[in-house]
Amino acid sequence: MCTEWQSWREGKHSCELGHEAVGVVVDAAQSKRLKNGDRVVVMPHAGCGTCPACLAGEHIHCTDQRDLLAETGSSSGIGCYAEYLLKPDYLLHPVPDDIETDHAAMAVCALGPSFTAMERMQVTPSDTVLVSGCGAVGLGAIINARTIGARVIAVELHPYRTDLARALGAEHVLDPRAPDLIEQVRALTGGYGADAAIETSNNPAAPPVVLELLRARGRLAFVTWSGELPVKRITGKGLEIFGSWHWNHEQFGDRMMQRVRDARPLLDKLTTHRFALADVADAFALQATGRCGKVLLYPAGVPDRMPAMGTAKAEPAL
């Protein structure tokens, strides 16, 4: 589950919920890439597959998305909150046998956007990375940075997510309301600021603040859609700015699967709750409180093998 709860909160109706999933191929049709029974990570949207963006593996940036319902004559099948899903085979990435299905599910929005951000910012173990916002994407950014070996400073207001950020490896979690936030970050970074930062909070006021938390010639990535930046400060600090919507499974599929392997213990902490599809309203209500990390939704019901702390009825132990 990702941000669909926001539409639920606002009372907006949709029959096509969900844009991230992992599942099993049940009808491979004429595919030469996949066969029935293959486990796959489902990438978002339906890029045309032939434009320059798609040919580079950047399907998320395709400006000529396919209309799968019109092509197939189906009345449904493009939302991931469902038992079955229609998808072009080039937007499905095979899951290796040694990776659990639940862990593979983290390869989409939990890890994907910040994976791209850190690839483009060339984050290394010697870097200090600032993560603005500790929702599911921001928490995934902490996992990506810590798995690389980088030091993490996070900025978050919600107490539950502050605790979870620390459990995932953030060395410091700072209150964004603190009047001396910039001074705090500089004090933690030798007086200079963070080497790289990723803004995930979607707070319109955040971008210019995050910019000031970076050192001169720092790197800043956005996995968000709100706010503005002062060009004068970008130029004055010599910053590199990146927009990171998702990840390129054609170029980085093997590296992402290795990231999932390396991050397994942290992914188990990130996955705080699991719900059956029939209980999706309860899952939305939980997400609206902010008292969760990543939430998984199961069309056939939560598997019995799941530990009690991962069910909807239990608060996770951080």
- Residue 105 and residue 15: Cα distance in Å, rounded? 22
What would the pLDDT profile of 128-153 be if each residue is shown by its tens digit? 999 999 999 999 999 999 999 999 99
**Confidence at residue 313, expressed as pLDDT on a 0 to 100 scale:** 33
Using alpha carbons only, what angle is made at residue 111 by residues 106 and 113, rounded to the nearest 5 degrees?
Answer: 135
For all residues of the chain together, what is the average pLDDT? 94
What would the pLDDT profile of 84-107 be if each residue is shown by its tens digit? 999 999 999 999 999 999 999 999
**What domains lie within the chain, and their CATH numbers?**
5-108+249-310 (3.90.180.10), 112-243 (3.40.50.720)
What's the rounded mean pLDDT across residues 243-271?
97
pTM: 0.94
- Residue 234 and residue 220: Cα distance in Å, rounded? 10
The per-residue DSSP string of 158-185 comes to: -HHHHHHHHHTT-SEEE-TT-TTHHHHH
Cβ partners under 8 Å of residue 9, min gap 6:
284, 288
What would the pLDDT profile of 5-22 be if each residue is shown by its tens digit? 998 889 988 878 999 999
Q: Grade residue 304 by pLDDT with cuts at 50, 70 and 90.
A: confident
